[in-house]
């Protein structure tokens, strides 16, 4: 069976929830001898010299590197390549934007199984103008109506698909593997970060992720804890510059760009608090990762945040700098309650989420 993954920027993961999802699934699928897995990548994300990763074939295709044309130009080429070069048996589209090209295999290779995963309703993101939002919604409609199988990463998205498109979808969330905390080592040498000495946010630097609320709230409280922000901008240089301007006179705020591997594990392991101030999410992988490391978690009170870990996280009113500052101060001033919630969140993960291996088994059933 030849399986093509389309929509991600590439693997191995540098940043991005979809990329993490695709990497985990693809590498697991590739372990089986009867499966060939192909992941399409963009050269600025995955180096051209990387032709294979953990058994997965990496296919590099060009793209028009602008905010509005980067993804769609790459996905358009990948769709044709998957049909005529790879001759894929399964073509799996990830995201509403990529689903704009889902009609290509449906029309020109009807024998292929076409699968669509709706990760997030991206047209709510502030970085998009009205025209882009229209096409993202159109992509969602194409994916939900034309795909042979539709996968929703959250129950909220599954309910939305049923209500909007009268279409049955399969609820297959991100997987979660148990993690053990590791001591601060590399992060001490590189940035002087010590155990419980910093608050952590892991997010792309784009407006709807709400990092500007976090910086403003952090600057309102009195604390010796540093604020560590991990993640890159992505066609949002103006926003990144705005964040840097907000933080320029505060040496406690550290921007680390994208991190991975052992350094990222150390960052999660030794944070005193993890915060995701996002205005809108599908099912944020970083929140699940923080919970797997047993870090106390503070989230905006959007619907998915309130549901994904039950009552085992702290919440603040979405977009409210004042309430975010109040909650941060309250959590940092306590010890027992944050530790208790972090343990409960980790147990909740264990009891309510599958491992990545389990998620792969569920996904494979949609390929048959």
Domain ranges within the chain, ordered by starting residue:
2-175+354-364, 186-352
Query: At the topology level of CATH, where does 2-175+354-364 sit?
Result: Rossmann fold (3.40.50)
Whether 186-352 and 2-175+354-364 are alike in CATH topology: the answer is yes
pLDDT tens digits along 281-321: 989 999 999 999 999 999 999 999 999 999 999 999 999 99
Q: Is the pLDDT of residue 234 over 80?
A: no
pLDDT at site 360: 94
pLDDT at site 14: 86
Q: Is the pLDDT of residue 259 over 90?
A: yes
Q: Is the pLDDT of residue 93 over 80?
A: yes
pLDDT tens digits along 47-80: 999 999 999 999 999 999 888 899 999 999 999 9
CB 144 within 8 A of CB 150: yes
What DSSP letter does each residue of 47-108 carry, written as one string?
-TT--EETTEEEEE-----STTTHHHHHHHHHHHHIIIII--SEEEEESTTGGGGTHHHHHH
CATH for 186-352, options being 3.20.20.70, 3.30.420.10, 3.40.50.2000, 2.40.10.340:
3.40.50.2000
Average pLDDT over residues 343-357: 94
Can you tell me the distance from the alpha carbon of 368 to that of 359, in angstroms, rounded to the nearest whole number? 15
H or E element in which residue 285 lies: helix 285-292
Per-residue tokens: 360: 């792969």
Task: Indicate the pairing of strand 226-230 with strand 314-316.
Answer: unpaired
Whether the predicted model's global pTM rises above the 0.85 cut: yes
> How many other CB atoms are found less than 10 A from the CB of residue 248?
9
CB 22 within 8 A of CB 8: yes
């Amino acid at each position: 069976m030849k399986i093509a993954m389309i929509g991600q920027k590439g693997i191995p993961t540098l940043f991005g929830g979809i990329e993490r999802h695709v990497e985990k699934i693809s590498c697991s699928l590739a372990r089986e001898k009867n499966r060939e897995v192909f992941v399409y990548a963009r050269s600025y994300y995955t180096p051209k010299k990387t032709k294979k990763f953990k058994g997965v074939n990496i296919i590099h295709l060009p793209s028009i590197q602008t905010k509005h044309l980067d993804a769609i130009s790459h996905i358009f080429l990948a769709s044709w390549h998957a049909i005529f070069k790879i001759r894929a048996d399964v073509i799996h589209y990830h995201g509403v934007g990529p689903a704009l090209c889902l009609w290509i295999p449906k029309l020109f290779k009807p024998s292929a199984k076409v699968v669509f995963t709706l990760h997030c309703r991206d047209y709510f993101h502030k970085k998009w103008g009205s025209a882009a939002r229209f096409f993202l919604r159109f992509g969602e409609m194409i994916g939900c109506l034309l795909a042979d199988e539709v996968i929703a990463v959250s129950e909220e998205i599954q309910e939305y698909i049923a209500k909007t498109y009268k279409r049955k979808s399969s609820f297959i969330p991100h997987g979660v593997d148990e993690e053990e905390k590791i001591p601060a080592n590399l992060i001490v040498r590189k940035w002087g970060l010590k155990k419980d000495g910093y608050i952590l946010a892991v997010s792309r630097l784009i407006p709807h992720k709400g990092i500007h609320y976090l910086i403003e709230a952090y600057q309102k409280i009195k604390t010796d804890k540093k604020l560590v922000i991990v993640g890159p901008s992505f066609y949002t240089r103006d926003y990144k510059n705005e964040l840097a301007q907000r933080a320029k006179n505060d040496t406690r705020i550290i921007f680390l760009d994208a991190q991975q591997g052992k350094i990222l594990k150390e960052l999660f392991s030794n944070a005193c608090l993890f915060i995701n101030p996002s205005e809108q999410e599908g099912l944020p992988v970083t929140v699940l990762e923080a919970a797997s490391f047993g870090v106390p978690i503070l989230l905006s009170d959007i619907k998915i945040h309130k549901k994904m870990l039950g009552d085992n996280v702290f919440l603040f009113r979405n977009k409210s700098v004042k309430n975010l500052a109040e909650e941060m101060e309250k959590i940092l001033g306590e010890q027992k309650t944050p530790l208790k919630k972090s343990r409960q969140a980790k147990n909740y993960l264990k009891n309510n989420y599958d491992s990545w291996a389990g998620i792969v088994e569920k996904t494979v059933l949609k390929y048959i």
